Amino acid sequence: MRGVNVCEVIKTLDVGGAEVLLVERLLAASRRQAGRPANRYTVVCLSASTEELTGRLRAAGIDVVDLSSCPRLLRPARLVREVRRLRPDVVNLHSPLPAALLRPASRLWHPRPILVSTVHNVRYRTVTMALDRATAWLDSRTVAVSPQVARARTGRRGRGLSTCVHGVRVAGQRQWAERAAATRREWSVPDDALLIVNVANFHPQKNHRLLVEAAAKVVAAEPRALFLLAGSGPLRDATAEHVSRLGLDRVRVVGHVPEAGRLIAAADLLVLSSSYEGLPVVVMEALAAGVPVVSTAVGGVSDLIETGKNGVLTVPGSADALAGGILQALRPDMRARLRAGARESAGQVDIARAAEWFDKLYGEVCTGTNG
């Protein structure tokens, strides 16, 4: 039996949550297919601002079609042509706007591919939601990346809804955890510091202003606390200016960090201040490395984090609550308990399980079975 020809379509291959989930799953699928009929994967994206993710895919023998060099106004038509040229058995749509274009276009193709949508977010802009809902009935299956996403409006709009919690390469994160001391030296973290890391692109939903306000309260109560804020995005400079105005020398805005999972693995805590989320990759990277998570209780975070077990969840939008959660998690007795709980949770976020699940799904939709 031949493998399935799969085209995975995503808006960008920048270093973001949905993009990293897709890349990690495909790399895991590539590792597990040795000695068996191999599915053929091609990733098509409208843009990629760096080669970090495209390079990893190509190094594993996975084809990438990057339309960055195509003029922006011509990319939609080029996207349709490129996906059609690949003659896929299955098209997995990871972004709502490319999906809204490809769903009706693919009805005219012969052979016609089977459409699957993977939903990564709990919220879209109004126009995006309308276009997605108007065309979602053309999908054969819909996959939500967490139970919270499945319950959201973005998930409750397609046919054959399933939930598959994605994940990360647990073994890789554990290796980074073993090198935590070297990573802390690389970032000039004092030996006695309590390192609190935030890895999130600087966009409004991540609410870095709230995080900085909470950090100010934490540092005032616990002088050993040191915050490293990693990521890129349009609000990075504004966040750095906010930190400077408050005179917070224990809060560093460090920008984009390649392989940021290593920074998470070196932390005492991962902190998130988001207003809304799907299923954040960084939360899974933290659990895989045995690092507790303090986060606002949004999106799929609450599907993985339990207060007092592997982290602390706080009320969204409250700097006092976030600061209180961080200080609670930094208490020596609590920190040891949460680290143990985080390590025990790692099995929930192993990407190998998601890779196997999707390979089975692709086989089922192509043969018409319903396993």
A 10 A CB-CB count for 303 gives 18
Residues 138 and 176 reside in one and the same domain = no
Long-range contacts of 121-127 (CB under 8 A, 24+ apart): 121/18, 121/149, 121/152, 121/154, 121/278, 122/148, 122/149, 122/152, 122/153, 122/154, 122/155, 122/276, 122/277, 122/278, 122/299, 122/300, 123/152, 123/153, 123/154, 123/276, 124/96, 124/154
Residues 112 and 247 reside in one and the same domain = no
Domain of 278? 170-349
pLDDT at 236: 97
Rounded CA-CA distance 140/356 in Å is 19
Rounded CA-CA distance 115/6 in Å is 10
Q: Which amino acid is at 190?
A: P
Rounded CA-CA distance 265/184 in Å is 10
Q: Token pair of 263, please? A: 């920074």
Residues 81 and 197 reside in one and the same domain = no
Task: For the sheet with 114-119, list strands across it.
Answer: 63-66, 40-47, 5-12, 90-93, 114-119, 141-144, 161-163
pLDDT at 278: 83
Alpha helices in 92-235 (DSSP H): 96-106, 126-135, 147-151, 170-178, 180-186, 208-221
Rounded CA-CA distance 20/280 in Å is 10
pLDDT at 158: 66
Residues 128 and 211 reside in one and the same domain = no
Residues 334 and 357 reside in one and the same domain = no
Residues 354 and 327 reside in one and the same domain = no
Peptide bond into 111 cis (omega under 30): yes
Structurally, the chain folds into a number of domains equal to 2
Query: If the chain, 371 residues long, is cut into consecutive pieces of 10 residues, what is the mean pLDDT of each piece?
Result: 89 88 93 72 95 94 96 97 98 97 97 95 92 95 91 81 91 96 97 97 96 98 98 96 97 94 97 92 96 95 95 98 98 95 93 93 83 42
Q: Which CATH number belongs to the domain containing residue 301 in this structure? A: 3.40.50.2000
Q: Phi and psi for 200 in degrees, rounded to 5?
A: -165, 135
Residues 159 and 184 reside in one and the same domain = no
pLDDT at 172: 93
Residues 136 and 179 reside in one and the same domain = no
Max CA separation in the chain (angstroms):
65
Residues 206 and 114 reside in one and the same domain = no
Residues 335 and 193 reside in one and the same domain = yes
Residues 180 and 270 reside in one and the same domain = yes
Rounded CA-CA distance 309/235 in Å is 33
Residues 79 and 205 reside in one and the same domain = no
The pTM of this model reads: 0.81
Beta partners for residue 42, in sequence order: 7, 63
Q: Phi and psi for 223 in degrees, rounded to 5?
A: -65, -20
